[in-house]
Amino acid sequence: MGIWRRVLGALLLTSAGLCNGCLGCGSGCPTSEKPEQQSRWEAELSKKQPLSLSPNAEIAIKRDVHEVVVSTDAPTFAKAFHEVMRDPSRRFGLIRVDRLAKNVGRPFSLGEKFQGRYSVEGAVKKELGKTWAKLFGELVDDDEVQELLCRIENEQTSDFGVISRLELEPSAGAPHVLEYTYLDGSPIAGSSTFQVTEVTGAELAKVGVPKAAKLTQIFLYQERTSSFAKFFSRGGLKLHNQVVMSQAEQSATLAGAKILSSDIPKEYL
């Protein structure tokens, strides 16, 4: 708790000096009521380019794969998953998906860029609990403080992605696929792929329901700095898996189904 208090306290106490005259030249915020902030954020996002994996780098390329089985057919679950991912009111743990204003709430499209924003304010509130309100009261709701926190999230705690594969209505027997590649500004290079397939045969008999679908999440990644690699090996990958499970659970609920099994350790959740 002490470290979060010191960090946030320093941010709030220096916010006026950091914000005055600086927000116009800093990164924009899509949640701001100021149109110029939204426009600046959209322009910055549009300029970002895909990051390449580097086999010769000191940090290794890694692949993390998990499966979640749900009690509905693949087309139904895939449709629900797409709806959940594009719903602007949804949160996946402390992650929200920011999209260009023209795309908000609409189906994803190939080549679309977006930001996966990790909420600094939400993390501190979770850490401090009721102490948050006692320490900072209404100060954190100040517009300039909110924009400062948004800028920190843009520069330090976000992933940026571009939809690189989108197969929402595949041919019979083929998987439903949503894949995005990480853009510059992200702490990792690589991609996240979500595949939804029908569960059949002996595997279906094993789960004991008339129909089931499998969500397979393939996370190909390479940390860009040694400090982030250390963080990710100690807990960051667990947070990633928590987000995946949140996405699966919300999609199952929307589809009127339930999670039947998952190979994500329950201790991670």
Tokens of 239: 């947070």
Q: How many CB atoms lie within 10 A of CB 59?
A: 17
Using CA atoms, how far apart are residues 126 and 203, in angstroms rounded to an integer? Answer: 39
What is the reported pLDDT for 38? 85
Q: Where are the alpha helices (DSSP H) in the chain?
A: 2-13, 15-19, 35-47, 74-86, 120-128, 131-136, 143-156, 201-207, 226-231, 237-254
Per-residue pLDDT tens over the stretch 177-191: 999 999 999 999 999
Q: Domains in the chain, ordered, with CATH?
A: 2-23+35-268 (3.30.530.20)
Region 107-112 average pLDDT: 97
Count, residues in the chain: 269
What is the reported pLDDT for 23? 40
Kindly report the pTM of this predicted structure. 0.83
List C-alpha distances in Å: 82 to 1, 31, 65, 79, 251.
37, 22, 20, 5, 8
Tokens of 240: 């990633």
What is the reported pLDDT for 37? 80
Per the model's pLDDT, the better-predicted residue between 225 and 31 turns out to be 225
Give strand pairing partners of 184. 186
Q: Look-up: residue for tokens 């000191």? A: 58
